[in-house]
A = this chain, B = another copy of it.
Amino acid sequence: MSIQHTVVFRLVHEPGSTAEVEFLETGRATLTSIPGVTDFAVKRQVSPKSDLTWQFSMVFADQAAYDAYNVHPAHIEFVETRWQTEVATFQEYDFVAR
């Protein structure tokens, strides 16, 4: 069963800043390079009922593809070198068909 992996987050960078754009673009380039990542999307979160402002979303064909992503060196490096310092707060959600 396919799994939509999502994370909603807010960056430490100013909205509209070059640093913000660079983070989003590097995230896209890095994460889409990992085998098994499909339907990758960056969206703006605009509900005033949350203070989070961005979403990364991707789809894995199955749990094995998701597991492989989690331990992939490119994913781990992105988390350690970018995510942990440039993301102020975030929340993960994974969705599957009912």
Contacts and interface: CB of A to CB of B under 8 A. Distances in A.
Q: What range describes how many residues of A lie at the interface?
A: 20 to 34
**Could you tell me the dominant secondary structure of chain A's interface residues?**
strand
- How many copies of the chain does the oligomer comprise? 2
A43 B96 contact: yes
Interface in A1-50: 3-5, 8, 24, 42-47, 49-50
Contact of A47 (B55, B93, B97): B93
A93 B50 contact: yes
Contacts of A98: 24, 42-44
Interface of A: 3-5, 8, 24, 42-47, 49-50, 52, 55, 91-98
19 contacts: A3-B46, A4-B43, A8-B93, A24-B98, A43-B96, A44-B95, A44-B96, A44-B97, A44-B98, A45-B93, A45-B95, A46-B96, A47-B92, A47-B93, A49-B91, A49-B93, A50-B91, A55-B95, A91-B91
